[in-house]
Every structure is written in structure tokens, then in C-alpha cells.
Amino acid sequence: MDELEKNMESILDLEVSNTPEGGCTTRKDQLRDVSEDRDKDYEYTRGQLYTLIDQGGEAVRGALEVAQESGHPRAFEVATNAMKQVADMTDKLADLHKKMKDLDEEQKGPSKVTNNAMFVGSTSELQKMLKQMGGGKR
């Protein structure tokens, strides 16, 4: 260890390790399964949306009450804007479910596709084709 490293250790109160490059952990070692995080994030987001929708509903009721008591056009405008916000949040909740469903389908892989083949031709043509495919064996 040279003098600069010793000085840096004492200044920064660190210990320098002389491990070779191969001894370091790689980025791949640091990666973890994100499916658990995805599920936690889904539950958290879903809970937050439910809370916001509930609070928005209360706000709409309060704004409607104020609007009806005052009869002021601005109060009605505020109430209708609050209704729109609550409707947008319910759409976001539905979108969240759709996104999770799409992610689940993506993880499962492509679905099996069954294609039905149809032969158009006479019976003798079908027999000839089958003989050719089977190598003429019976």
C-alpha cells in the first residue's frame, strides 16, 4: 500500500481492501426477484386509490351541500370537478387491474394457439397427399 492510500485511510477513516476485481459482487448478484415488489406495489396502490376514492366521495358530498346551500355557480363547478376527479380515480383503479392481468399473462407466456387445417380437394387427391406424407406405406 502506498503513502497516498494510507493517508486516505486515515483522513476518511476507511480501510482499503486489496481484493482483486474478480472478488467483487456483480450486478447480477445484487438483483432480486421483483415479483414480490410488484405485488406489494399493487396492493399499496390499490389501497391508496380506495382511500382517495372514499375521501373524494366525501369531498363531493360536502361540495354539493355547499353548492346547494349557497346556490353559487362556482360552488357547483367545484362540486362537478370533484366528481370528475373521483371518476378518474375509479378509472385508474380499473386500469390497475387490467395492467396486473396483462403482466400475469405476460409472465405465463404465450397462450396455446390451435389452428385447424382444412383440406380442399377430392377424396382421391387427399389419398394421394396422405400417401406422399406417409412415404407410401400402408
The burial class, CB within 10 Å (0-12 / 13-18 / 19+), for 79 is: buried
pLDDT number for residue 43: 92
Positions of E strands within the chain: none
pTM: 0.52
pLDDT digits (tens, 9 = 90+) for 73-109: 999 999 999 999 999 999 999 999 999 888 888 777 6
Write down the pLDDT at residue 5: 74
- Positions in the chain whose pLDDT score sits under 50: none
Residues 6+ apart with CB under 8 A from 111: 105
* All domains of the chain in start order, with CATH: 47-106 (1.10.287)
Q: What is the pLDDT of residue 125?
A: 87
C-alpha cell at 106: 405476460
Report the pLDDT value the prediction gives residue 6, as an integer from 0 to 100. Answer: 75
| Cα 51 from Cα 99, distance rounded (Å) | 20
